[in-house]
């Protein structure tokens, strides 16, 4: 445990004017309050707040934040009160401690309704004083560093919460070092075998190739010296979780990954950043599509840097980040840079953003969401995605999440433009509305009077702002029709469980679902935004509707014409819950493809055959075949365990084919009957966790694009 003298000395290294009496008083007060309390490891409990204070001191934060870290658990876990803290340390620190206490009580990984409400409280706390979140993140970091003392079940819960919420939040705030460490600590708990495997492969790679980082760093220094540029070159291997995520995204093994090393070049001026870029590109070949200039187009959290990837020694790709020291300070601490000190005064970093303006930008669109699930969707989209920068025809910059479409672009300009959108041009060429916008592209929205939002746009748009605006417009356009249809659906569902869909029952459902009134429940039921199961459970939570409420094949896909039948494409085998598009065939109806299916490219010059479709939101029966490509160890009993695992996930094996038999491994294709994409994810996760499964992937074959799969 860090002693008070050492803590004060740590603070003095960046703030010689620190109030050491205030820190000492807080240290002694917290130690007294926590006297007799112990952590799971057996250590005195006070070692935890002392460690949190040290983490924040390493980030050069102000005295108030350090004192809050020391006191952050006193009001919740000891006899100390808000009034006592305010009396001894002042209202500013008391408010900060109170804010951390309230955050600690939030169950961010609870049910979606509670989670959305707690996210609202989280952002409210951030808007009052960002330092509350900084203390909470440091608190979570120390808890993750010492997580081994917890029970395995509690470890897993905390690790998933860290991976889903706290790590992305740290990244959104620009604290990349903290995000990476939180992810790696959580990864160690969630998937220790995968992490250990990556580390072993790194060690093997180092034995075979020597110290790659030192060699490449030396090469870069020579290049810069010859160009007469003064700069520091830093190299590192990427974190295990970062490599694991890249392996999953690119669906390739460790040996095929190229950019597993990252290098930073810290220059003396902004001009030198571009001189370094030129020198690096002259020496090594730049990889197309892997260049980003965040100096001319900074991120909203103040992040500035040039990113490029080049082919280095032996054709290996190397990622390079180029920035000044001031940019680097913000890149390391993000929004926290606003409170950092240097030589006893707040550091004047020209790139540090105003936290109040940053949080206002982040929360602006959340205020427009009308209910908990839409709010939660908007929060997740903002926290878990990077940005792309595109341009209007006049040259104005528009920031959108990665994967955004022209529909998102239109609504980002103005809701009126979004509603009237009938088409789009990217870089002067007409494109479908589901096209994903790339960095640096120019987007032009084509509008028409009388156009109204289409329901299929909900599957195209990915931003919370666009989806919320589309939902509101659709509800207003079709409200009467949806209410009438919803009333009939509610009547039938309630009668099925021998109840009546009275006005009182529907009002109760509205209150439970946090909707305005009974008509709003019926409108959303009629528009398929709510299912009858959700409405019934809101009124009678103990009644579980039977399988008669499953979505039948005749209603499975929304967007088909009257009497139009569909088949699932054999090449991509789309599942309910995935984004889809239809291709019309004479005599065969419509073949439904996943939106990212490679086979769709052969129909790009036939836009009249494309249909915008989406799956019904209700629960589907387990009747959709999907082929899994599984490699397993050739040991006794492995095949039986695989089949048992699939059965335990409530899935049926309809076919099984061995495609490769080796002395130590078998590769086989397994056809399983599934409900939806979530069902598939559950089965793949269960198989991936089995130690005798070397790999499991979804099998897709573009050669089978000519026809559909019948159920």
The structure tokens 């939101």 sit at: 617
E strand or H helix that includes residue 589: strand 589-594
Beta-bridged to residue 557, according to DSSP, are 615
Contact 590, 582 (CB under 8 A): yes
Distances (CA, A) of 96 to 20, 31, 61, 307: 19, 19, 14, 37
Helix axes 20-33, 82-89, angle to 10 degrees: 160
What residue ranges do the domains of the chain occupy? Answer: 4-190, 193-338, 385-462, 553-615, 624-709
Whole-model pTM over 0.75: no
Among residues 711, 470, 692, the alpha carbon closest in space to that of 570 is found at: 711
Residues contacting residue 465 through CB under 8 Å, at least 6 positions apart: 365, 368, 378, 408, 411, 412
Beta-bridged to residue 666, according to DSSP, are 632, 661
Q: Residue 285 has which token pair?
A: 């070949």
HEC string of 339-372? HCEECCEECCCCCCCCHHHHHHHHHHHHHHCCCH
CA dist., res. 458 & res. 515, Å (int): 20
Distances (CA, A) of 627 to 363, 522, 583, 657: 42, 38, 22, 10
- In the CATH scheme, what architecture does the domain 385-462 have? Roll (3.10)
- What one-character-per-residue DSSP string does 181-249 give? HHHHHHHHHH-HHHHHHHHHHHHHHHHHH--HHHHHHHHHHHHHHHHT--EEEEEEEPPHHHHHHHHHH
Write down the pLDDT at residue 230: 92
Q: Is the dihedral of CA 440, 446, 450, 452 positive or negative?
A: negative
Q: Which long-range contacts (CB under 8 A, 24 or more apart) does 145-149 make?
A: 145/185, 146/39, 146/41, 146/48, 147/185, 147/189, 149/39, 149/40, 149/41, 149/42
The structure tokens 């995520």 sit at: 245
Largest CA distance in the chain: 85
Task: Give tens-digit pLDDT for 137-189.
Answer: 999 999 999 998 888 888 888 888 888 778 877 877 778 888 889 999 998 89
CA dist., res. 216 & res. 312, Å (int): 8
- Number of residues in the chain: 711
CA dist., res. 376 & res. 371, Å (int): 9
CA dist., res. 110 & res. 181, Å (int): 24
Catalytic residues: 76-77
3-state helix, strand, coil in the chain (%, to 5): 50, 20, 30
Residues contacting residue 90 through CB under 8 Å, at least 6 positions apart: none
Stretches where the chain sits below pLDDT 50 are: 110-113, 369-370, 372, 381, 384-385, 544-545, 709-711
Judge if 385-462 and 624-709 fold alike in CATH terms: no
Write down the pLDDT at residue 417: 93
Write down the pLDDT at residue 618: 83
Write down the pLDDT at residue 191: 86
- Please return the burial class of 557, using the count of CB atoms within 10 Å of its CB with bins 0-12, 13-18 and 19+: buried
HEC string of 71-116? HCCHHHHCCCCHHHHHHHHCHHHHHHHHHHHHHHHCCCCCCHHHHH
CA dist., res. 89 & res. 707, Å (int): 73
HEC string of 232-243? EEEEEECCHHHH
Among residues 317, 318, 186, the alpha carbon closest in space to that of 241 is found at: 186
CA dihedral 619, 621, 626, 631 (to 10 degrees): 90
CA dist., res. 589 & res. 583, Å (int): 9
Among residues 603, 115, 677, the alpha carbon closest in space to that of 590 is found at: 603
Q: In this structure, what are the phi and psi dihedrals at residue 326, rounded to the nearest 5 degrees?
A: -65, -40
Distances (CA, A) of 452 to 167, 363, 498: 39, 27, 40
> Which spans in 252-352 are helix H?
270-283, 325-333
Among residues 594, 587, 595, the alpha carbon closest in space to that of 568 is found at: 594
Angle (CA) 331 326 357, round 5°: 65
- In the CATH scheme, what architecture does the domain 193-338 have? 2-Layer Sandwich (3.30)
CA dist., res. 10 & res. 56, Å (int): 10
> In the CATH hierarchy, which fold is given to the domain comprising 4-190?
Hypothetical protein af1432 (1.10.3210)
- In the CATH scheme, what architecture does the domain 624-709 have? 2-Layer Sandwich (3.30)
CA dist., res. 708 & res. 314, Å (int): 44
CA dist., res. 365 & res. 512, Å (int): 24
- Please return the burial class of 656, using the count of CB atoms within 10 Å of its CB with bins 0-12, 13-18 and 19+: middle
CA dist., res. 423 & res. 444, Å (int): 9
- What one-character-per-residue DSSP string does 629-652 give? EEEEE--TTHHHHHHHHHHHTT-E
Angle (CA) 514 515 518, round 5°: 130
Contact 590, 560 (CB under 8 A): yes
CA dist., res. 422 & res. 288, Å (int): 32
């Amino acid at each position: 445990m860090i002693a008070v003298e050492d803590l004060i000395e740590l603070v003095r290294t960046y703030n010689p004017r620190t109030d050491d009496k205030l820190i000492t008083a807080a240290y002694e007060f917290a130690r007294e309050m926590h006297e007799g309390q112990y952590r799971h490891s057996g250590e005195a409990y006070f070692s935890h707040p002392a460690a949190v204070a040290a983490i924040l001191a390493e980030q050069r934060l102000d005295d108030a934040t350090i004192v809050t870290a020391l006191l952050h658990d006193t009001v919740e876990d000891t006899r100390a009160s808000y009034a006592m803290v305010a009396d001894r340390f002042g209202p500013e620190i008391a408010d900060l401690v109170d804010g951390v206490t309230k955050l600690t009580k939030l169950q961010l990984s609870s049910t979606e309704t509670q989670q959305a409400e707690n996210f609202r409280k989280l952002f409210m706390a951030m808007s009052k004083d960002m330092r509350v979140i900084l203390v909470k993140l440091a608190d979570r970091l120390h808890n993750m560093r010492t997580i081994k003392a917890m029970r395995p079940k509690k470890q897993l819960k905390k690790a998933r919460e860290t991976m889903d919420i706290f790590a992305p939040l740290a990244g959104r705030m620009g604290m990349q070092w903290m995000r990476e460490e939180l992810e790696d600590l959580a990864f160690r708990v969630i998937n220790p075998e995968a992490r250990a495997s990556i580390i072993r492969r790194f060690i093997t790679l180092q034995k075979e190739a020597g110290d790659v980082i030192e060699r490449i760093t030396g090469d870069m220094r020579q290049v810069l010296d010859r160009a007469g540029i003064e700069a520091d070159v830093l190299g590192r291997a990427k974190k295990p979780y970062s490599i694991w995520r890249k392996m999953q995204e690119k669906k390739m093994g460790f040996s095929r990954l190229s950019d597993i090393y990252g290098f930073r070049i810290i220059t003396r001026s902004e001009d030198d950043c571009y001189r370094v870029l030129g020198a690096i590109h002259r020496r090594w070949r730049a990889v197309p599509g892997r260049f980003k200039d965040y100096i001319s187009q900074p991120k909203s959290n103040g992040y500035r840097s040039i990113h490029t990837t080049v082919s280095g020694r032996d054709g290996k790709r190397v990622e390079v980040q180029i920035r000044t020291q001031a940019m680097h300070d913000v890149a390391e601490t993000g929004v926290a840079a606003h409170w950092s000190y240097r030589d006893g005064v707040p550091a004047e970093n020209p790139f540090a953003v105003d936290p109040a303006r940053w949080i206002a930008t982040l929360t602006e669109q959340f205020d427009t969401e009308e209910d908990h699930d839409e709010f939660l969707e908007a929060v997740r989209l903002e926290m878990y995605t990077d940005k792309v920068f595109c341009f209007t025809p006049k040259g104005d910059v528009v920031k959108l999440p990665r994967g955004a479409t022209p529909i998102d672009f239109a609504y980002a300009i103005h809701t009126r433009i979004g509603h009237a959108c009938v088409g789009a041009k990217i870089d002067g060429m007409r494109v479908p509305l589901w096209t994903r916008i790339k960095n640096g592209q120019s987007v032009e929205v084509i509008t028409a009077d009388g156009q109204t939002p289409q329901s299929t746009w909900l599957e195209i748009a990915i931003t919370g702002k666009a989806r919320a605006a589309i939902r509101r417009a659709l509800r207003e356009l079709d409200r009467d029709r949806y209410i009438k249809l919803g009333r009939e659906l509610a009547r039938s569902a309630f009668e099925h469980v021998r109840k009546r869909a009275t006005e009182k029952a529907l009002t109760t459902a509205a209150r439970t679902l946090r909707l305005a009134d009974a008509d709003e429940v019926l409108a959303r039921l009629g528009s398929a935004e709510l299912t009858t199961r959700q409405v019934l459970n809101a009124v009678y939570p103990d009644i579980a509707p039977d399988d008669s409420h499953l979505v039948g094949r005749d209603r499975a896909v929304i967007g088909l014409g009257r009497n139009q039948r569909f088949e699932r494409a054999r090449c991509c085998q789309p599942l309910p819950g995935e984004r889809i598009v239809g291709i019309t065939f004479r005599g065969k109806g419509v073949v439904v493809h996943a939106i990212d299916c490679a086979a769709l490219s052969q129909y790009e010059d036939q836009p009249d055959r494309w249909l915008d479709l989406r799956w019904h939101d209700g629960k589907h029966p387990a009747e959709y075949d999907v082929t899994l490509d599984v490699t397993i160890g050739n040991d006794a009993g492995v095949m039986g365990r695989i089949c048992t695992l699939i059965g335990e996930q409530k899935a049926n094996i309809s076919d099984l084919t061995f495609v490769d038999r080796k002395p130590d491994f078998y590769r086989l294709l397994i056809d399983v009957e599934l409900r939806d994409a979530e069902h598939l994810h559950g089965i793949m996760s269960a198989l991936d966790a089995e130690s005798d499964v070397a790999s499991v992937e979804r099998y897709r074959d573009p050669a089978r694009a000519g026809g559909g799969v019948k159920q």
